[in-house]
């Protein structure tokens, strides 16, 4: 994006955050090719709180809705959830997730965020993954921030199809289709043997 004058930048900043309230100042600064300080000033002038404030309240009641897994079992921070419909989580990638040699985040962490989010949005005692088809669009470096969005695209009886898209800033870096079965406790008990 070319450097913009202040008014134009603030207009687009508002648009961006309306579209994706989870962008942090650092990401916005890179997006608009300005300093983080400039973004902070812009937010002040526009009366937009910082990202944690923007998302905190949403996040709190998101966890309270989850039935199928314990909140600690969700990889990443659950930000938003609408049972049997959609959900959103954010994963801050850290060194432990990266390959020593290259600092590239190992694929299964990106999968885990998507899979645990897909399971979390299902309104059931136990959500069992039946199948998954995933695509990695580019390597993710340690430190990059992954925003995963899940949507239920189909539901037949206890069988859910869930589409998950994971982005860094506005770039899709991972996409997956999960088939998840909703089972009640006693049923899963049987299946466990």
Question: Which residues bind to a second copy, rule: CB under 8 A?
Answer: 69-70, 73, 75, 99-104, 106-108, 111-112, 115-116, 119, 125-126, 128-136, 138-139, 141, 185, 188-189, 191-193
Rounded distance between C-alpha atoms, residue 158 and residue 124, angstroms: 9
Instruction: Say how many C-beta atoms besides its own lie within 10 A of residue 137's C-beta.
Output: 13
CA-CA distances (angstroms) from residue 172 to 82, 147, 167?
22, 9, 4
For a second copy, the closer of residues 39 and 105 by Cβ is: 105
The smaller minimum CB distance to a second copy, of residues 115 and 166, is found at 115
Q: Provide, rounded to whole angstroms, the least separation between the CB of residue 50 and a second copy.
A: 26
Provide the minimum distance between the beta carbon of 191 and a second copy in the complex, in angstroms, as a whole number.
5
CB-nearer residue toward a second copy: 106 or 151:
106
| Burial 143-175, CB ≥16 within 10 A → b, else e | ebbbbbbbbbeeeeeeebbbbbebbbbeeebbb
CB of 45 to a second copy, least distance (A): 31
In the bound state with a second copy, the residue whose beta carbon lies nearer, of 62 and 66, is 66
* Residues 149, 76, 47: CA angle, nearest 5 degrees: 70
Closest separation in Å from C-beta 111 to a second copy: 5
């Amino acid at each position: 994006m070319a450097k913009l004058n202040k008014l134009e930048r603030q207009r687009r900043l508002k648009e961006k955050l309306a579209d994706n309230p989870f962008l942090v100042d650092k990401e916005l600064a890179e997006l608009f090719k300005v300093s983080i300080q400039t973004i902070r000033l812009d937010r002040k002038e526009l009366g937009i709180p910082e990202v944690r404030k923007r998302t905190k309240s949403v996040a709190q009641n998101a966890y309270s809705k989850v039935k199928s897994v314990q909140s600690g079992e969700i990889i990443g921070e659950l930000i938003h959830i609408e049972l049997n419909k959609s959900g959103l989580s954010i994963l801050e990638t850290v060194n432990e997730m990266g390959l020593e040699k290259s600092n590239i985040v190992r694929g299964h962490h990106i999968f885990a965020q998507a899979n645990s989010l897909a399971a979390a949005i299902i309104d059931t005692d136990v959500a069992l993954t039946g199948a998954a088809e995933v695509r990695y669009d580019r390597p993710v470096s340690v430190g990059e921030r992954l925003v995963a969005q899940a949507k239920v695209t189909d539901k037949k009886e206890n069988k859910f199809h869930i589409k998950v898209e994971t982005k860094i800033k506005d770039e899709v870096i991972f996409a997956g289709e999960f088939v998840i079965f909703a089972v009640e406790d006693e049923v899963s008990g049987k299946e466990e043997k």
